[in-house]
Chain A
Amino acid sequence: MQRQSEARLGPLLLLLLLPLAWGKGPSPPRAAEELQVSNRLAGQAARVALHYLNYRLGSPSALRALGQVRKATLKTIPGIGHKYYLQFTTEDYKSSLNVGTCLATVFYLKRKPRPAVNINCTYTKDQKQIREDDYSFYKKMRQQTKPIIGNDIPDSYGNIEPALEPAWALAVAGSSYLMWEKSTENLGYFMAQVKNVKQWITKDDSIDFDYSVVLHEIPTQEMISCHLRVIWTPGHPLKVKYFCLSENQWSESEEGSGTESGSTNGIFNEKEAHF
């Protein structure tokens, strides 16, 4: 109960704290190197930031893909790691329409296993519509008496059955957690295909999906098979557990808001705010 109200107040609080956050926000530090917008490491870092965002938003209807990198700066902190400062546009994952700009920092730390991400974005998509779409998917899944199952989404020919599209989107959201965790400065990921999806009918108010996904790893070109368990209630953080074939134990997402590894400061519904 408490967590729910925190989640609702959360964004409002963050909004109020925004000016503070700004002070600490993206400003090119000293020994910083401006990168070309076409630089692959900049693009890669932007994608990592979006994996994190997509995971934290936990909304199949609000998934974003990378548009264009507008500005990129790299700061090397000797002995600690590399920090990227990025500005990039984003597209709606499904429609490819522009849905806003993000500012992000992506910190690849030598000692920590996953990149630390700070990201804030404008959002031109209607928040109400997103919530409605999410809720309608959630409701449909809650009403299933027979569990949803599916294979090869998309299929070899790129087709996605319309009925399975929201389950696919949830897989993207869940895979985003996994891809964020696995990404390094040099290794990036795309979710190539859902090999298998199976719904677990739950007694509580969450929806529960089991996925086998294939990730495309760059630059090695390897196809990584992972098993993913995604548990979701709209408005709550995604719960993700995963196991990839190259690993020997399950990895799990932390519950609750605010992790040490990153933050999403202020996702607000405003048209093209100027930074």
Chain B
Amino acid sequence: MFLANPSNMRLILFFSALAGAAWCLETFAGDQVLRVKASSEEEINKLQLLETLEHLQLDFWRRPSNPELPVDIRVPFPSLQAVKVFLESHHIEYSILLEDLQVLIEEEKQEMINNQRRERGTSNFNYGAYHPLDSIYAALDDLAAEYPSLVSKQTIGESYEKRPMYILKFSTGGTNRPAIWLDAGIHSREWVTQATALWTAKKIASEYGSNPSITSLLNRMDIFLLVVTNPDGYAFTHTNNRMWRKTRSKISGSLCVGVDPNRNWDAGFGGPGASTNPCSESYHGPSANSEVEVKNVVNFIKSHGKIQAFLTLHSYSQLLLFPFGYKCTNPADYNELDAVGKAAASALASLHGTTYKVGTICSTIYQASGGSIDWSYDYGIKYSFAFELRDTGRYGFLLPASQIIPTAEETWLGLLKIMEHVRDNQ
């Protein structure tokens, strides 16, 4: 029994195309596929008669056999009118299944090319280089296409300049499982963070099933990854100013553009360590969550409801930080966070010897209000950590691309340590 499922259809198309090529029919432009419903044996006989008319060059995809089953015929354009007149004059019911075969073949060809590209895509992508926004977004698509049972791409909203904010969801199933959040690139000039996040996505996707840690983690929890938290800023670092840090929002009453997205969260907002000057790199913005990029993340976290860890990547300085930044007092979970942080830093250092300092934001880096991990911690997400990745100032933001993969590899070990602790302490 011939079943007209999509793969069979494709085969048919393919063979038709081959056949067409063989008979020097270079195009199927205007050809249609008609679905004919014979309602009686008599009508079946008429259709079988049609079959014998070779000059019509009809191509029966489903041959007339009994009235229960539809008959599908590819009718070449020159014969279309004749066939339709025949069917109508004999009151044989039909419908147009495919309106223009050539269009379909073109689409098919393109899809095959796309599929081929996708299949090579993530193995061709150079994770050890810095990429513009479009390439990163294409890589996200490639990952979702290559690992469809594990990875899906979602949008959590748009940036100020209407760029989509895409997250990758890593999930092996369940409904609304407890999850880990990881974001990068909130400060656009910190290029090693977006690059590290992308490498990490590939790492997780490709090693689920073979790496016991990743596998056990994803069997219980989901991971959400936001590779480019500040896409407008990131685009700007490519087109205009490599050192751009903030968002690109217009500020009323000022000629200066942009808000420091990591001073814009609702945690000690407007306090010490953030500027009231719109022209400043650490301008906190007119109000908490005024930046749509921040608001989108907050909304996602709140509506998900089961985020257990909030991890964010920055550069540079080689630090592993936990709350608080807006106040210089220790969080209630200081001992645990410090212990986890130290274990993570130790794991990180084990690979290439890169040393990280661990501590609260205020004591380790500087007092800064309105930061993301302070918000997430006060919101109830205990495991809130910020990484400041390589280096310690030689290259700073301009970290050579040759250091991307070593940075990503060592950072992964630190991230994994934290995630395993979260998994084991739910």
Contacts and interface: CB of A to CB of B under 8 A. Distances in A.
Interface of A: 36, 38-40, 47, 65-66, 68, 93, 96, 154-159, 190, 192-193, 214, 216, 218-223
B130 A190 contact: no
A179 to B, nearest CB: 11
A40 B364 contact: yes
B400 interface: yes
Contact of B363 (A39, A68, A218): A39
Looking at chain A's contact residues, is the secondary structure mostly helix, strand, loop, or mixed? loop
B395 interface: yes
Contacts of B394: 65, 93, 96
Contacts of A192: 243, 396-398
Interface string B391-422: 01111111111110000000000000000000
For B273, B395, B398, the residue with the greatest tally of chain A CB atoms inside 10 Å of its CB is B398
A157 B366 contact: no
B273 A219 contact: yes
A156 B392 CA distance: 17
B260 interface: yes
Given A219-B365, A221-B245, A158 B281 contact: no
A218 B366 contact: yes
Interface residues of B, number: 36
Contacts of A154: 395, 398, 400
Contacts of A39: 363
Given A38-B357, A156-B398, A192-B243, A65 B392 contact: yes
A212 to B, nearest CB: 13
Nearest to B358: A38
Given A155-B398, A190-B393, A216-B396, 13 more contacts: A36-B363, A39-B363, A40-B364, A47-B393, A154-B398, A157-B401, A158-B399, A158-B401, A159-B401, A192-B398, A218-B366, A219-B282, A221-B245
B371 to A, nearest CB: 12
B154 to A, nearest CB: 30
Nearest to A217: B281
B243 A214 contact: yes
Contacts of B393: 47, 65-66, 190
A156 B402 CA distance: 13
B172 interface: no
Contact of B396 (A66, A93, A190): A190
B243 A158 contact: no
A155 B400 CA distance: 9
Interface string B263-283: 000000000010100001110
Looking at chain B's contact residues, is the secondary structure mostly helix, strand, loop, or mixed? loop
Interface in B379-400: 392-400
Nearest to B281: A221
A156 B131 CA distance: 11
For B191, B275, B365, B396, the residue with the greatest tally of chain A CB atoms inside 10 Å of its CB is B396
B355 interface: yes
Contacts of B368: 219
Contacts of A40: 363-366
B282 A220 contact: yes
B423 interface: no
B242 interface: yes
Given A39-B363, A218-B366, A223-B281, A159 B400 contact: yes
A267 to B, nearest CB: 21
A96 B281 CA distance: 30
A231 to B, nearest CB: 25
For B282, B365, B393, the residue with the greatest tally of chain A CB atoms inside 10 Å of its CB is B393
A222 to B, nearest CB: 5
Contacts of B398: 154-158, 192-193
Nearest to B357: A38
B137 to A, nearest CB: 19
Interface string B232-276: 000001100011010000000000000010000000000001010
A192 B243 CA distance: 9
B408 to A, nearest CB: 15
10 contacts: A40-B363, A65-B392, A156-B191, A156-B237, A158-B398, A158-B400, A159-B400, A218-B366, A222-B281, A223-B281
B410 to A, nearest CB: 15
A219 B130 contact: no
Contacts of B285: none
Contacts of B275: 220
A96 B406 CA distance: 15
A37 B282 CA distance: 27
Contacts of A193: 242-243, 398
B370 interface: no
B359 interface: yes
Nearest to B273: A219
B397 A157 contact: no
Contacts of A155: 398
A84 to B, nearest CB: 16
**Which 9 A-B pairs rank lowest in CB-CB distance, beginning with the nearest?**
A158-B400, A219-B366, A221-B281, A190-B393, A154-B398, A38-B357, A158-B398, A156-B242, A223-B243
A38 B366 contact: no
For A36, A155, A156, A221, the residue with the greatest tally of chain B CB atoms inside 10 Å of its CB is A221
A91 B181 CA distance: 36
B180 to A, nearest CB: 26
A154 B399 CA distance: 9
